[in-house]
Amino acid sequence: MTTDPTKTTSANRPRRDVLGLAAWTMGAAGAGLAAWPFIASLGPGAEARALATIDVDLTPVAEGQAITVVWRGKPVFIRHRTEAEISAARAVALEDLPSPEPDDTRVRRAQWLVVLGVCPHLGCVLQGQRDGEPRGDYGGWFCSCHGSHFDESGRVRAGPSPSNLPVPPHDFRDDGTLVIG
């Protein structure tokens, strides 16, 4: 008697199942691996990654002054804080903050505050960097889009912003050089 090898019978079923499962698994693994480079190609390119870390020369920034630099396409506010601003930021009771965070956890060196200058509410760039711009009721920045106020530590004090201004990863290479990213 001959059996038709193309038909599944009770005798060859377990073997068929194993072979089928193995084939599908290999196929799925191959498809997944083939998709990898295509998905990866959608990420930031080498030229963007090269700018993911920037050096900022702080020597020209005098006490009381602020500068704005661009890091990953976003404005970063760097403020050289005065003694008065530092002590004001540290004097606030944490209970009074909508989003409690002590000032010393937000800075690496007390006189240098480094925050993203974009309102956490809906992404507007904040006012208060340049002379003559409103700094809000708490000595920091003000969002003219929806009226959030930020203090000398970049913490939200009033308005719809759900959180404090994020502090980007940063460090000091030496006294005059800040590294962001």
Q: Give the nearest distance from C-beta 55 to other proteins in angstroms.
A: 21
Q: Give the nearest distance from C-beta 134 to other proteins in angstroms.
A: 41
Residue with Cβ nearer other proteins (38 or 60): 38
Q: Where are the beta strands (DSSP E) in the chain?
A: 54-57, 66-71, 74-80, 112-116, 139-142, 149-151, 156-158, 170-174, 177-180
Query: Which spans of this chain sit near other proteins (rule: CB under 8 A)?
Result: 6, 37-38, 40-47
Residue with Cβ nearer other proteins (60 or 73): 73
- Any bridge partners for residue 163, and if so which? none
Residue with Cβ nearer other proteins (21 or 94): 21
Q: Decide if 146 is catalytic.
A: yes
Q: Give the nearest distance from C-beta 86 to other proteins in angstroms.
A: 42
Please pick, among 80, 121, 146, 149, the residue that the annotation labels catalytic: 146
Q: Residue 101: phi, psi to the nearest 5? A: -155, 120
Residue with Cβ nearer other proteins (5 or 60): 5
Residue bearing tokens 């480094």: 114
The strand pair at 170-174 and 156-158 is best described as unpaired
Handedness of CA 160, 72, 62, 172 (dihedral sign): positive
Q: In sequence order, what are the residues at sequence separation of 6 or more whose Cβ sits closer than 8 angstroms to the Cβ of residue 169?
A: 180, 181
What is the Cα–Cα distance from 77 to 10, expressed in whole angstroms?
73
Q: Give the nearest distance from C-beta 46 to other proteins in angstroms.
A: 4
Q: Which residues are catalytic?
A: 146
